[in-house]
Every structure is written in structure tokens, then in C-alpha cells.
């Protein structure tokens, strides 16, 4: 046996020994239960209120989805010029209203004058919600309008902006004042934002995984050291893939389940995919068109 072979075997043996030692010393630490995530069956959350026959993030959309029987909503939030939290997806007002320019350049009173149904077009090419009184909503208006439903809020403003720097503290104050700690999920693609928020919340609110947390979990899952994964989130809201990496496997779902983390899949609307993910252990779905998933889950519950 040559010297190089002996060195390789020694290094390999050392690696195996380190792995074995870490398995003995380190034990997965499950996330503590969060009331907001305690459901007896898979759930459906309407993304931006749902867009089946109504403009996104409008009261018309929220009411329509609530009537369908969704378990809650996933909404985007932004901060206005006068530091009010509104429900709005884009950085600018152009895509959905008759206003233009950045949301942060307007006060709430100014934004309330916008027609939130202005840009919505139906399948026949008509604009049925123009001038019908649909207004931009504040987060507190939504919270008060649907006290029975779960609301997942997505912090859209970058932490590098003035608005983003204020949002975590503003959001915590609103949640605390409305006593909604047990029916809210706070998430952001920016892990820094949820970290900042949790400095105020102190783990009293369910936290959604950001991009970095999802990458960290997947790397741990595919390595031999998954038992060393120490999650910082309570729930994963993900697409079926992150780049080329599949997040929709039974193995990954079970990996998260073992540390008490449910996983909700976004924008899965095909019946066969929904059924496959349910069988694999998916805890829910986030969809702009929630009726398909609702029908499947309701059918399974009846049987």
C-alpha cells in the first residue's frame, strides 16, 4: 500500500470518526410549537388574497377567497411615506392602480385615493373593477376584517432602505397592539428582516424561512451532517425548486418535519402535483387560484 493511499484512508477514517462523534453529541433541536401553525389538516392560503375574479390585495379578492373556505392569506406589506403599513406587492404603484411612482413617496391618505382595481383585466379583456371603490388596504384593516383567518405577511421592503429598516419594529408594534401573535406568520426573502423582527417578537410569532435559511436547510439535508441543522424558522414557504435543487421530495419534507417545521408550497395548481405533495407530507399550499387545492383537500377530508 502506497503512502498516498494510507493518507487517504487515514483522512477518510478521521472524517467518519468526526461524523460518528457529532451524531452522538449533537441532537436535532425541533422548533417549539407555534399556535398559528397548529392545523389538523393541510391548509390553503390565498396568495395576495387570490386573483380568481378580483384584483390582488383588494377587499373584493379577500372576501371571495374567504367565501371559498381558505384558511388564510399571504400578503405583501410595504411602508408609506408617513410610516403606515399597507398591503401592496410592487415597489411602485403603476402595475395595479391608476397612480404611478414609489409607494414610499406617498402618504396613506394619498394612496387611499388610488383606484386599486384600475389595472385588473378579466378573461374577456374588460376592466370590471375600475371605479368600483376598491382601495389600497392597510394591514390592520385586513387583520380586523378577518379575525378567524391566518395571515402570513411578507416584508417586501429591502432592509437596506429607510422603509425596510423601520418595518420590523412597526410590524411588531401592530401585532402586539392587535394581540394577533397567534394568527400571524412573518416572513421575508431577506433573512435579515425576520431576524430584526424577532429581536422584538422574541419567538412569540411564527417566522417563515428566507432564502438563506432555505439554502442552509437544503445543504444540511443533502449532507451527512443534517443532524447539526439548527433551524431559525418555524415554517417554510417555498416553490417546488430553488434553482436546480428540488424542494418537493418526501425526504426533504420529512427532514423538516423531524425538526417540527411544516412546509407550504407556492403556486402549485395541477391536481396531480397537489396530490403527490400531499402524499409526501406537505402541510399546505399558497396559491393565487386556491379553488383547485381546496377541492382536493376537502375531498380527502370527506373520505
Output the domain CATH number for residue 237. 3.20.20.190
The answer to whether position 187 is within a domain reads yes
Residue 154 grid coordinates: 411578507
The answer to whether position 128 is within a domain reads no
Instruction: Give the pLDDT score at 8.
Output: 46
The answer to whether position 20 is within a domain reads no
Instruction: Give the pLDDT score at 26.
Output: 55
What Å distances lie between residue 249 and 37, 133, 170, CA to CA?
A: 21, 44, 37
Query: CB under 8 Å, gap of 24 or more: what pairs does 275-283 form?
Result: 277/248, 278/42, 280/248, 280/249, 280/250, 280/253, 281/250, 281/253, 281/254, 281/257, 282/42, 282/253, 283/37, 283/39, 283/42, 283/43, 283/235
Element of type H or E holding 205: none
Instruction: Give the pLDDT score at 300.
Output: 80
Instruction: Give the pLDDT score at 302.
Output: 76
> How many domains does one find in the chain?
1
Instruction: Give the pLDDT score at 5.
Output: 53
Per-residue pLDDT of the chain (303 residues; tens, 9 = 90+): 555 555 444 444 444 444 444 454 456 689 999 999 999 999 999 999 998 889 999 999 999 999 999 999 999 999 999 999 999 999 999 999 999 999 999 999 999 999 999 999 998 999 999 999 999 999 999 999 999 999 999 999 999 999 999 999 999 999 999 999 999 999 999 999 999 999 999 999 999 999 999 999 999 999 988 888 999 999 999 999 999 999 999 999 999 999 999 999 999 999 999 999 999 999 999 999 999 999 998 888 777
For the whole prediction, is pTM greater than 0.75?
yes
Contact 76, 48 (CB under 8 A): yes
Instruction: Give the pLDDT score at 224.
Output: 82
The answer to whether position 202 is within a domain reads yes
What range defines the domain where residue 206 resides? 30-90+141-302
Instruction: Give the pLDDT score at 201.
Output: 98
Instruction: Give the pLDDT score at 255.
Output: 97
The answer to whether position 257 is within a domain reads yes
The answer to whether position 51 is within a domain reads yes
The answer to whether position 174 is within a domain reads yes
The answer to whether position 118 is within a domain reads no
Task: Please state the length of the chain.
Answer: 303
Amino acid at each position: 500500500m502506497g503512502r498516498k493511499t494510507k493518507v487517504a484512508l487515514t483522512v477518510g477514517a478521521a472524517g467518519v470518526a468526526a461524523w460518528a462523534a457529532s451524531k452522538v453529541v449533537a441532537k436535532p433541536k425541533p422548533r417549539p410549537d407555534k399556535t398559528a401553525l397548529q392545523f389538523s389538516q393541510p391548509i390553503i392560503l390565498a396568495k395576495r388574497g387570490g386573483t380568481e375574479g378580483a384584483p390582488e390585495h383588494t377587499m373584493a379578492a379577500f372576501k371571495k377567497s374567504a367565501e371559498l373556505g381558505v384558511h388564510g392569506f399571504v400578503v405583501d406589506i410595504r411602508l408609506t411615506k408617513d410610516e403606515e403599513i399597507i398591503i401592496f406587492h410592487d415597489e411602485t404603484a403603476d402595475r395595479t392602480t391608476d397612480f404611478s411612482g414609489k409607494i414610499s413617496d406617498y402618504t396613506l391618505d394619498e394612496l387611499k385615493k388610488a383606484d386599486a382595481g384600475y389595472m385588473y383585466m378579466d378573461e374577456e379583456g374588460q376592466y370590471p373593477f375600475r371605479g368600483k371603490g376598491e382601495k389600497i388596504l392597510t394591514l390592520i384593516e385586513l387583520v380586523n376584517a378577518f379575525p378567524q383567518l391566518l395571515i402570513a405577511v411578507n416584508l417586501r421592503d429591502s432592509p437596506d432602505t429607510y422603509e425596510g429598516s423601520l418595518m420590523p419594529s412597526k410590524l411588531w408594534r401592530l401585532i402586539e397592539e392587535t394581540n394577533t401573535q397567534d394568527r400571524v406568520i412573518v416572513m421575508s426573502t431577506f433573512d435579515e428582516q425576520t431576524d430584526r423582527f424577532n429581536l422584538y417578537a422574541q419567538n412569540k410569532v411564527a417566522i417563515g424561512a428566507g432564502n438563506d435559511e432555505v439554502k442552509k436547510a437544503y445543504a444540511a439535508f443533502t449532507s451527512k451532517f443534517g443532524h447539526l441543522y439548527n433551524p431559525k424558522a418555524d415554517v417554510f414557504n417555498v416553490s417546488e425548486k430553488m434553482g436546480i435543487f428540488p424542494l418537493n421530495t418526501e425526504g426533504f419534507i420529512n427532514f423538516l418535519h423531524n425538526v417540527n417545521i411544516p412546509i407550504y408550497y407556492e403556486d402549485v395548481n395541477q391536481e396531480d402535483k397537489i396530490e403527490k405533495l400531499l402524499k409526501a407530507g406537505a402541510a399546505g399550499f399558497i396559491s393565487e387560484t386556491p379553488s383547485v387545492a381546496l377541492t382536493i383537500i376537502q375531498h380527502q377530508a370527506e373520505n
